[in-house]
Structure 1
């Protein structure tokens, strides 16, 4: 999984494992860290119950295919974010790849499939197409044969939501990191939020500073792997995108936007440069060469 490291854990920081990655909360007012962590934990639990593909009691799993179903405002916002990402990337980031992921063996929480080396059985699944999903006035329609997977965007949306929640409720500056998805809100520390962007131990690392309200997302073909597969699919083939890039990191003023671009860049491979034109981005090639574009600092 992509790593997003900050200063060592201290009185201003809380950290725990969640969703096969690490949640980290840092605040500018150390006395508020316990309250901030409690708010983030509650939001993570709510999102998991709303849209987890891996728990049978999630709201998303209760949606009946083929007919409009009333969904909660939280699930509606998560689906809308996924559809927005699909629309803005021309379908490179598509939430209807759930069946394809299951067919490749990613059919349970990632912690349970780590180390899997046996090829999964071949399955037939519907051709993904985000345009077939309908969301209007809180009513969600998912076509027959389509399994939604919001994993490409939900973690980034949740980082944004958690940062805004903590800053709004507690009046403190905050950074929320969910693996490679980092969002900030409220006032930043002097000099900005210090972040070390790196994928795997031993990979190239780069320390940057974020102003308050900024975000970074990293998408990786080296993290979340099982056997020879990784989790970022090309929706057009239903298979993992060719690993042209080891990682793509993007900075933006929302984690959702940053994640949308970083994921689409992995899917596009060599065609990613047009997508990232003018956007601060750091690309690590398969042979660990580092490319900086769009004003990403040296």
Structure 2
């Protein structure tokens, strides 16, 4: 865990690795010990539950129980509920049951720059998509039934849910103002005194700062999670309609929403839909956002990147 002074007066930023990224928590210096400890404990707990690359994680126990009933912990059960709700609300373009596809494409180990590159090309993928539609939940027993062969991958959704969980804990303890940033997916509560909002730099070159008053920002894109199979470049944003990495003229989509998990799902869905359908999707939700194209230009949705409250603007 590292600590540094923040450009905001009398603020401190504490950083630590978790979920394949760096989590940064910014808060007034007196709050640094309790808030950073709370954040680190939350992310450590969630990583033990949800890691796709730890054989002993609860997520992998659930995957090994496909075709059988599995009684889940409360945190896993709630995350699966949230994932199924997101899948329904996005007409299946957010599909949390594509873990086998990611493995076949080569994303079968913890992320490390270059570690996934292989000279062997990907052969045709003949795996079913949309298995989430067959999943059954039993709330009283807190049990989950997944169809045979299901491999869950909750990825960015869980990272967003962890950010939201830390913010919720800070709200209950009246720890504010605070910003929790997990590799660019972030949420805030409260505003630093004398500031119009939290200054947040967008993930594209030369962008002006977003002033975030409340809520969250999340970015989905192909600038980081990329690897080579043969002569082809792969990435982790799969289109459930084909089971293949989506091919869009985009680097990233950034979305402001009331919560980080909501922003993550919206950003990923808008990216998969592409610029035109993705814009209409965000407009229906009344979310502000921005599309960064591969030719370098940026198009805004709503009032982004002006001051936003996260979500309706």
Supply the distance in 2 between the matched residues of 1:54 and 1:10 (Cα, whole angstroms).
39
Partner of 2:12: 12
Partner of 1:261: 266
**Residue segments in structure 2 that go unaligned for 5+ positions in a row:** 1-5, 307-313
Q: CA deviation at 1:116?
A: 1.3
Q: Does 1:145 find its partner at 2:140?
A: no
Supply the distance in 2 between the matched residues of 1:164 and 1:111 (Cα, whole angstroms).
31
Partner of 1:166: 170
Partner of 1:110: 111
Going from structure 1 to structure 2, the CA distance change for 1:68 and 1:186 (only over 3 Å counts) comes to: farther
Supply the distance in 2 between the matched residues of 1:58 and 1:19 (Cα, whole angstroms).
13
Q: 3-state DSSP class of the match of 2:209?
A: strand
Give the aligned length.
Answer: 288
Aligned match of 1:136 in 123, 135, 138?
Answer: 138
2:190/2:213 contact within 8 Å kept? no
Q: CA deviation at 1:119?
A: 3.5
**Residue segments in structure 1 that go unaligned for 5+ positions in a row:** 1-5
1:178-231 Cα deviation digits (max 9, x unpaired): 0121011245543211111114xxx3433011113x100011122211121111
Q: CA deviation at 1:10?
A: 7.4
Going from structure 1 to structure 2, the CA distance change for 1:188 and 1:252 (only over 3 Å counts) comes to: farther
1:244/1:266 contact within 8 Å kept? no
Kindly report the root-mean-square deviation, in angstroms, between the aligned alpha carbons of the 2 structures.
Answer: 2.1
1:108-128 Cα deviation digits (max 9, x unpaired): 111275461424654643333
Query: Pairwise mapping of residues 139-218 of structure 1 onto structure 2 (< 5 A)?
Result: 139-169=143-173, 171-189=175-193, 190-199=195-204, 203-212=205-214, 214-218=215-219
1:242-267 Cα deviation digits (max 9, x unpaired): 13221111111111111111100110
Partner of 1:93: 94
* Greater C-alpha radius of gyration: 2
Supply the distance in 2 between the matched residues of 1:206 and 1:108 (Cα, whole angstroms).
36
TM-score by length of 1: 0.90
Work out which structure has the larger RCO, using CA pairs closer than 8 Å and 6 or more positions apart in sequence: 1
Going from structure 1 to structure 2, the CA distance change for 1:52 and 1:9 (only over 3 Å counts) comes to: farther
Supply the distance in 2 between the matched residues of 1:71 and 1:90 (Cα, whole angstroms).
26
Supply the distance in 2 between the matched residues of 1:117 and 1:51 (Cα, whole angstroms).
26
